[in-house]
Chains A and B, each alone.
Chain A
C-alpha cells in the first residue's frame, strides 16, 4: 500500500532553516510528483510547491520563491523540503502529498509540525 512517512517535529529559531523529509513506499517513486502543503495553526491549506520525482523539475509558490528548495533522492524514494530564513509565521504543519500541479493529491504524509520561536 502507498505510504508517505514524514520526519518528526522540529523547533527552530527565527532565521534558521528546516529540512523535512518524506519517504515514499508502495509505488514506483519516479512515476509521480510530490507536492508540499502547509497549514498554519487554525488556518487553511497552502500549496508550497511541487517536484517531479522523475526529473527533479520544480514549481514553487511565488510567495516562497527564494526561500524554499524541494529535492528528491530516488535511491531512497525520499523527497525533501527545505525552508530557509524562518519566521514566526512559518509555524505550521507541513505535509507532503503524492500528486502534481494539474492532478489531485491522492496520498498524504502524516504531517510534520515546524515551530519557529525564539
Chain B
C-alpha cells in the first residue's frame, strides 16, 4: 500500500488528453511538500518529467504539465502520442515517515 495513491492504469487515443492523479495526505502533499513526476519507458530507468509540482526540465515537451491542490496532484498529458505509453510515478516527501515516498505507479496505454 503506497502512501501516495495513483490509479493503476489510464488510457487514451492518440491526440487525446489524459490525466493521472496522485492523492496523498496532510503529512506529505497536503503539508506543502513538492510533488515530482517520473516517466518510465519499458525496460529503462525512470526519467524526471515534472519537478516542483509544475516545472518541466529542459527537453520535456510542453504537452506534459503538472498541478497540485490540497492533498492531491495531477499530471496531464495532451496530444497523446504512441511514445507516451509508459509507467508514470509521482513522488513527494512524507514528514510522518521522514522518508521520500512514491506513488504506486500508473500504466498509460495509448489505444
Contacts and interface: CB of A to CB of B under 8 A. Distances in A.
A110 B45 contact: yes
Contact of B38 (A46, A62, A103, A105): A105
A44 B36 contact: no
A27 to B, nearest CB: 15
Contacts of A109: 45
B97 A62 contact: yes
Contacts of A50: 100
A83 to B, nearest CB: 17
Range class of the B interface residue count: 20 to 34
Decide if the interface of chain B is mainly helix, strand, loop or mixed: strand
Contacts of B102: 37, 44-47
Which of A50, A101, A104 has the largest count of B CB atoms less than 10 A from its CB?
Answer: A104
Interface in A92-114: 95, 97, 101-111
A44 B52 CA distance: 21
16 contacts: A44-B2, A44-B105, A45-B91, A45-B105, A47-B100, A95-B45, A95-B46, A101-B93, A101-B99, A102-B33, A102-B93, A104-B36, A104-B91, A105-B36, A106-B51, A109-B45
Interface of B: 2, 33-34, 36, 38, 40, 45-48, 51-52, 57, 87, 89, 91, 93, 97-105
Interface of A: 35, 37, 44-47, 50, 59, 61-62, 95, 97, 101-111
